[in-house]
Amino acid sequence: MITDWHEYRLINGAIGNLIDGLDESDMKRVVRHVFDSGGKRIRPIVLILCSELFGGDADECVDAALAIELIHSASLIHDDILDMGITRRGVPSVHKQFGQAAAILCGDFLISKSIELISKYDRAVIQDFGRAGMSMAEGEAADIGSRENSFSEENYLGCIDKKTASLFAASACMGSRIGGAPPHSVSRCAEFGMHLGMAYQIVDDILEYRELQHEKKSVNTSTTLPQILSAASSAEDALNRSIREVQYHVDESRKVISSFGESDVRDKLLKIVDYMTIDLIEDVEIPSRFEVAV
Ligand code: FPP
Ligand code: MG
């Protein structure tokens, strides 16, 4: 179980310390709501593992891992404002629970804290981090635009690359840099993270299309790959093609990781790939099981 891994305990401990260290205030209550609601902590775990892959020490990258989780959380808080999200992780979204001002400010607070945390690392790590944030904002803008403009498969793939895959890529890349990986391996790790992020977002969108997202609900929804593909073919075909796209990115991400030497860390990264992709759609994977929706 991933929750038994020391990387998971390390990031959860860092989140707990962050919250405990805050002054009693409205901000602390909102931050607590965000992190008490759960979350898989996959991005920071990927960062720590990619450092360990090259002999890095987990304790040395925990601040970077925390920065990644904070910026991810901030992006979801802001996304819920933009999407009019009602619930996330089975609880009311931050703006529903505390109001829009508190939600915007909590996002601001988490982004600012993440900058403080990342500032102690090398310039290349800080750049990866800043660029990922910029990509996420661009991707979110494209996502919002997708509701009004025509949105092709290519537009969709570009959008999720920026809004989701960029942070996975940055996590893997930053971890490998902190662990002392040579430049070629840093690029390979970024590639791994990108494919993992692409596969994960398509899986998330397949689950939404099949109305299997029970933990989150929003008024505005994104334009997803199965939706785009179903405009020109049956829902069954659209789902099959979407799953093939997932499989492509899963295979590519596995290929990168498998090219590194055998180790427990490598096996953990391979496990994460399955956990975030194939495992989540195992119940909807067999095409013949789909009733054709219209
Ligand atoms: C979820 O998409 C949203 C994202 C992956 C990115 C959100 C990014 C921003 C709001 C830009 C802010 C950037 C920073 C750096 C804080 P979704 O709506 O498809 O997923 P969901 O179903 O989980 O809501
Ligand atoms: Mg959303």
In angstroms, the CA 225 to CA 244 distance is 11
* Residue to probe by mutation, ligand 1, list 34, 114, 134, 140, most atoms within 8 Å of CB: 140
* Whether the Cβ atoms of residue 82 and residue 141 lie closer than 8 Å to each other: no
Is residue 91 classed as helix, strand or coil in its secondary structure? strand
In angstroms, the CA 91 to CA 279 distance is 23
| 68 Cβ inside 6 Å of ligand 1 | no
The total of other beta-carbon atoms located within 10 Å of residue 241's CB is: 16
| 197 Cβ inside 6 Å of ligand 1 | no
Give the closest ligand to the alpha carbon of residue 160: 1
Residue whose token pair is 């860092």? 14
Cα-Cα-Cα-Cα dihedral sign, residues 186, 189, 190, 191: positive
> CA angle 270-271-273, nearest 5°?
65
Length of the chain: 294
Q: Specify the DSSP element, H or E, that contains 270.
A: helix 264-276
| 62 Cβ inside 6 Å of ligand 1 | no
> CA angle 137-139-142, nearest 5°?
110
In angstroms, the CA 237 to CA 226 distance is 9
283 — pLDDT class (breaks 50, 70, 90): confident
Question: What pLDDT score was predicted for residue 148?
Answer: 81
Residue that wins the pLDDT comparison between 234 and 283: 234
Please report the domains of the chain, with CATH numbers, ordered by start residue: 2-281 (1.10.600.10)
In angstroms, the CA 256 to CA 190 distance is 10
Question: What pLDDT score was predicted for residue 286?
Answer: 42
In angstroms, the CA 162 to CA 141 distance is 10
Inform me whether the pLDDT recorded for 291 exceeds 80: no
- What is the pLDDT of the chain when averaged over all its residues? 95
- What CA dihedral angle connects 188, 270, 174 and 263, to 10 degrees? -90
Mean pLDDT score, 269-291: 79
Mean pLDDT score, 191-220: 96
Question: What pLDDT score was predicted for residue 42?
Answer: 98
282 — pLDDT class (breaks 50, 70, 90): confident
* Whether the Cβ atoms of residue 79 and residue 85 lie closer than 8 Å to each other: yes
Q: Among the listed ranges 99-103, 117-121, 143-147, 159-163, which one has the minimum average pLDDT value?
A: 143-147
Query: pLDDT by residue (tens digit) across 99-133?
Result: 999 999 999 999 999 999 999 999 999 999 999 99
In angstroms, the CA 216 to CA 234 distance is 26
Is residue 152 classed as helix, strand or coil in its secondary structure? coil
Distance 75 CA to ligand 1 centre (A): 5
288 — pLDDT class (breaks 50, 70, 90): low
In angstroms, the CA 172 to CA 175 distance is 5
For residue 80, give the nearest of 216, 202, 189, 208 by alpha carbon.
Answer: 216
